[in-house]
């Protein structure tokens, strides 16, 4: 592990958090991960980004890294603090593990 | 199986197709399924409805039918004909199987 990299480290190793950016940004992030010698990559997302996370996993495994296979998928519920009301609300999350 | 029901039958038995309606509509459809004696229900969705399908599964298993467990989750890519260009495009899909 190189600690001199200038990029911000992910919150968990080998994990790509999918948000609102275009799908290909995250596909590229996953490919970079794999090219750095990792044999696994985990794609995570919450709320409406879940659809995009599935897209990322599919584009990756079907087009750019066909040796990658979906190893496991899990869904969960996370509690987040609402920005508007300040109360807690539930948001669904997904975690897709891919490996070769 | 009763064939005298007035509701349109689902394309596959025990399967709820999640679309653009509010999440609770689909949760209710799943609960109806379970109350009709089924021990399993499959939630399917494509494209942006995938996030909602995960919501449906989570709301169902965590709040309304806590004896239900996620049995398997699979993701796939389907080819659909684009309404605008007439060409084929890929869309991600998800299938969440729940059982008690």
CA neighbor of A51 nearest in space, from A18, A25, A84, A83: A18
Structural fold of domain A15-99: Translation Initiation Factor IF3 (3.30.110)
Q: How far apart are CA A11 and CA B38, in angstroms?
A: 41
Tell me the nearest-neighbour CA distance from B57 into chain A, angstroms. 9
> How far is B10 from chain A, CA to nearest CA, in Å?
23
Inspect the interface and report whether the beta carbons of B54 and A74 lie closer than 8 Å.
no
Q: Does A96 touch chain B (CB under 8 A)?
A: yes
Tell me the per-residue pLDDT of A22-77, one tens digit each, with 9 for 90 and over: 999 999 999 999 999 899 999 999 999 999 999 999 999 999 999 999 999 999 99
Could you give the 3-state DSSP secondary structure of residue B14? coil
ipTM of the complex as predicted? 0.83
Chain A residue closest to B78 (CA)? A58
Using the predicted structure, report yes or no on whether residue B6 has a pLDDT greater than 60.
no
Judged by a CB distance cut-off of 8 A, whether residue B51 touches chain A is: yes
Could you state, in order of their start, the residue ranges of all structural domains in chain A? 15-99
Contact B59, B33 (CB under 8 A): no
Helix (H, G, I), strand (E, B) or coil at B60: helix
Interface of B with A in 6-45 (CB under 8 A): none
Beta bridge partners of B74: B95
Which residues on A lie below 8 Å from B94 (Cβ)?
Answer: 54
- Classify residue A45 by burial, with Cβ atoms within 10 Å: 0-12, 13-18, 19+: buried
CA distance B9 to chain A (A): 27
CB contact under 8 A, A58 and B96: no
Closest Cβ–Cβ partner in B54, B70, B93 for A50? B54
* pLDDT tens-digit series, residues B33-81: 999 989 999 999 999 999 999 999 999 999 999 999 999 999 999 998 8
């Amino acid at each position: 592990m190189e600690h001199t990299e200038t990029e911000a480290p992910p919150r968990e190793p080998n994990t790509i958090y999918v948000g609102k950016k275009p799908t290909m940004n995250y596909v590229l992030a996953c490919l970079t991960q794999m090219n750095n010698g990792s044999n696994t990559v985990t794609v995570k997302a919450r709320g409406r980004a879940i659809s995009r996370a599935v897209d990322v996993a599919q584009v990756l495994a079907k087009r750019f890294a066909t040796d990658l296979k979906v190893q496991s998928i899990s869904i969960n519920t996370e509690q987040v603090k609402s920005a508007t009301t300040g109360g807690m609300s539930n948001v669904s999350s997904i975690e897709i593990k891919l490996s070769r």
